[in-house]
Amino acid sequence: MAGDADLLLAWANEPSTRAAGFHPDPIDPATHRRWLAERLAAPGRSLFVGLDDGEPVGPVRIDIDEDGRAEVGNSVAEAARGRGIGRALLEAGITAAVAAADDRSTSDGSPPIRTLVAHIRPDNAASLALFGRAGFHAAGEGSVHGALCRVFERPVPRPAPRVVAIVQARLGSTRLPGKVLLPLGAYPVLGHVMRRVARAASVDRVVLATTTHPADDPLIDLADREGWSVVRGSVEDVLDRYMTAARAHDADLVVRITSDCPLIDPEVVDEVVAASLDEAWDFTANTIEPRTYPRGLDTEVISRTALARAWAEDEEPAWREHVTPYLYRHPDRFRCRAVRSPTDHSAERWVVDTSADYDLLQRIVGALDRDDASWREVLAVVEAHPEWRDLNRAVEQKVVPPAAGQQ
């Protein structure tokens, strides 16, 4: 370690490297050791030493900021220059830093590297050539410590995100026990949900997330018979159950669906996923107040990084049970986007929460001639029988409590 520190200092103090940087004076050993200790301790800062035939040849530094912009700097020992090492080292450092940031991102919600940035002095021909060759494009001028520099950027291509719909279900419902297994036309309630979500073109995988409680074993039996993916997790900490399922299925985007919505519409799911992708939102949903969609089409899309952050930070058990309040109640910390229907249909209630709801759903499903009817077809059925709305009009939706101390 001490040897590495000495080597890094010797490289940094080579005259051509000092001249290429923004602090022309030689660096003294005490300042160097302080700088090194600080950067090795800081998350989001990488420092690699390149080896050529086992011999150390130069460092690559990459520092990620909170928006996923990563500042890159490198140098090659004077004696090793002009042999392609700078280029090879730069790519190796970028690859390692991108992978390390991805790992951190999926575990603690810190940002992945989206853009690489280099600040280069206009007179540094070698570095201009190197970064140009490496696919960086000119992005204007800037200044570092008062010195003029040219800014170069390279976007980091991200693979298409893997979209995993996670359907939460358990049999221990308080208002209508066992509701997700109640028959509704050709399938139990949960069968409708799983089938309809699977029809969403944007969804790569549908996972049933139930609890480890033995009372939920019948759901596992049903999943086995139907060939559904299933994950078991905490009974009360549903946020933790979602995180477990997201990890197990390598989700980049999680679509949260509750199993009491048998008329969930795959096109609405696709619409919310598309809205989430268009600016890489943290939380995108058709449930954000004021609601406009009928209750029962509830679709919430959460980026894996935002889910990981909520999972790590949310200390309210009552919020964790509802998975997403920590996100939508902190719009200052999470980029939240509401998806709304042009017309307000929020008075419609197509969920199975009470026996009154179940009565209504049985009538609707009985009146539909197919099990893949869209929500507009459902609406048409309800509009043809407006008196059915009285069946569950009085049912009150459960409310997520405020944070403790804010009652």
Ligand X SMILES: CC(C)(COP(=O)(O)OP(=O)(O)OC[C@H]1O[C@@H](n2cnc3c(N)ncnc32)[C@H](O)[C@@H]1OP(=O)(O)O)[C@@H](O)C(=O)NCCC(=O)NCCS
If binding means CB under 6 A, how many residues of this protein chain bind ligand X? 23
Q: Which is nearer to ligand X, 130 or 193 (CB)?
A: 130
- Nearest approach in angstroms of CB 39 to ligand X is 16
Give me 94's structure tokens. 């970028």
Compute the distance between CA of residue 322 and CA of residue 254 in angstroms, rounded to an integer. 15
- Choice from 98, 120, 165, 378 touching ligand X (CB under 6 A): 120
**Can residue 7 be called a binding residue for ligand X (CB under 6 A)?**
no
- Choice from 23, 34, 39, 133 touching ligand X (CB under 6 A): 133
Find, among 363, 347, 181, the residue nearest to 260 by Cα: 181
- Nearest approach in angstroms of CB 293 to ligand X is 51
**Can residue 125 be called a binding residue for ligand X (CB under 6 A)?**
yes
**Can residue 87 be called a binding residue for ligand X (CB under 6 A)?**
yes
In the three-class reduction of DSSP (H, G, I as helix; E, B as strand; rest coil), residue 119 is classed as strand
Query: Which ranges of 137-182 does DSSP label H, i.e. alpha helix?
Result: none
Q: Which is nearer to ligand X, 83 or 340 (CB)?
A: 83
Following DSSP, what letter does each residue of 229-272 receive, concatenated? EEEEE-SS-HHHHHHHHHHHTT-SEEEEEETT-TT--HHHHHHH
**Can residue 101 be called a binding residue for ligand X (CB under 6 A)?**
no
**Can residue 34 be called a binding residue for ligand X (CB under 6 A)?**
no
Compute the distance between CA of residue 347 and CA of residue 291 in angstroms, rounded to an integer. 9
**Can residue 82 be called a binding residue for ligand X (CB under 6 A)?**
yes
- Between the alpha carbon of residue 111 and those of residues 45, 67, 69, 300, the distances in Å are 13, 7, 9, 21
Is the distance from CB of 407 to CB of 369 less than 8 angstroms?
Answer: no
**Can residue 86 be called a binding residue for ligand X (CB under 6 A)?**
yes
Helix (H) or strand (E) holding 47: strand 45-52
Q: Which is nearer to ligand X, 17 or 362 (CB)?
A: 17
Compute the distance between CA of residue 43 and CA of residue 311 in angstroms, rounded to an integer. 19
Q: Which is nearer to ligand X, 124 or 346 (CB)?
A: 124
- Choice from 33, 69, 81, 333 touching ligand X (CB under 6 A): 81
**Can residue 127 be called a binding residue for ligand X (CB under 6 A)?**
yes
- Choice from 48, 50, 70, 75 touching ligand X (CB under 6 A): 75
Find, among 175, 164, 168, the residue nearest to 304 by Cα: 164
- Nearest approach in angstroms of CB 141 to ligand X is 15
Q: Which is nearer to ligand X, 76 or 208 (CB)?
A: 76
- Nearest approach in angstroms of CB 114 to ligand X is 20
Which residue is listed with tokens 């998350």? 43
Q: Which is nearer to ligand X, 120 or 391 (CB)?
A: 120
Using CB under 6 A as the criterion, which residues of the chain lie in contact with ligand X when the complex forms?
Answer: 16-17, 20, 73-76, 81-87, 118, 120, 124-127, 129-130, 133
